[in-house]
Amino acid sequence: MKIGLVGLGKMGNNMRSRLKNAGIDVVGYDTNPDVSDVPDYAALAAALPAPRTVWVMVPAGRITDSVVDALKGVLDQGDLVIDGGNTKFTDDELHAKSLAERGIDFMDVGVSGGVWGLKNGYGLMVGGSDEQVERVMPIFDALRPEGPREEGFVHAGPVGAGHYTKMVHNGIEYAIMQAYAEGYELLESSPHVTDVPGTFKAWQRGTVIRSWLLELMVRALDADPDFADIDGYVDDSGEGRWTLEEAIENAVPMPAISAAIFARFVSRQDQSPAMKAVAALRNQFGGHAVKAHEAKAAQDLHPTK
């Protein structure tokens, strides 16, 4: 089997290696000529047998739009484009409709696994037709983790369902990471716990909160127990926001996920205007301290308050 792969960054390049290790021939294209197998999209199409399959692994938004448009110009009827990036599910229908004008099929795949996917495999969430899923199942089997297919792969529904599922997956991820982070901060601030990294490490077996994210937390603490070399700035890729938009649209309460996203916004403020306003109000009605050193002195005098 032979496949084209557009986008050879950290994820794409690892996916190319995993596919090749499974015996699938991969022709990669990237704007960086040092990693690309072919010079342009036309050469990519020429290197693939019909019906062609091209997997797109580039950043969501305008870059994905431009790649889909470029492939539309070089592919033929019966070919297939798979978007494995973090595209918003509403864009999938637009891409599918555009490619269908030339008889080109489209699928969307939510991919989870990050930089560890080369070794561990990728969790795959697929949107598309039954026929196309069956056609490229060898590709999915090569990329997914070892073990039962249903534990690392799902045909979630028609076009858009793969990226919708991945969107919700990432929203859940936000909340889990925030919970671990808040637990870490409380343990660090407590006078009762002297081994915070050891505590997280001990949670890896037998506890109900064990997970791969917990293993990564332990790994991070082993490398830097106090996170001294890490800034407390946390970005978001957009999928958490889309999850909340869908929650509002469908009247589904999501207090944990929404709190996790808002916590990321707070992390980007050196001096939170909202918290300044709260401090000013507390000072107005109760004469409470508005400076950090004054607040610390008060805490030293009244540590339970």
Give the ranges where the chain is alpha helix by DSSP (H): 10-21, 41-46, 62-74, 89-100, 117-120, 130-135, 137-143, 161-189, 196-202, 212-223, 239-249, 255-266, 273-286, 292-301
Q: Which amino acid appears at position 27 of this protein?
A: V
DSSP string, 156-181: EESTTHHHHHHHHHHHHHHHHHHHHH
Enter the tokens of residue 208. 């109900």
Q: Which of 101, 119, 134, 173 is catalytic?
A: 173
Three-class SS state of 110: strand
**Residues 6+ away with beta carbon under 8 Å from 262:** none
Counted residue by residue, the chain has a size of: 305
Q: Is 276 a catalytic residue?
A: no
Three-class SS state of 78: coil
Could you give the CA distance from residue 160 to residue 89 in angstroms, rounded to a whole number? 5
Closest C-alpha to 176, from 217, 146, 121, 227: 217
Q: Is 166 a catalytic residue?
A: yes
Strands across the sheet with 53-56, in order? 25-29, 2-6, 53-56, 80-83, 105-112, 123-127, 153-157
**From residue 89, how far is each of 72, 187, 264 by CA, in Å?**
19, 39, 23
Closest C-alpha to 85, from 107, 53, 52: 107
Closest C-alpha to 261, from 186, 174, 131: 174
Q: Which of 72, 88, 166, 239 is catalytic?
A: 166
**Residues 6+ away with beta carbon under 8 Å from 124:** 109, 110, 111, 140, 143, 144, 152, 153, 154, 162
**Catalytic annotation, residues:** 166, 173
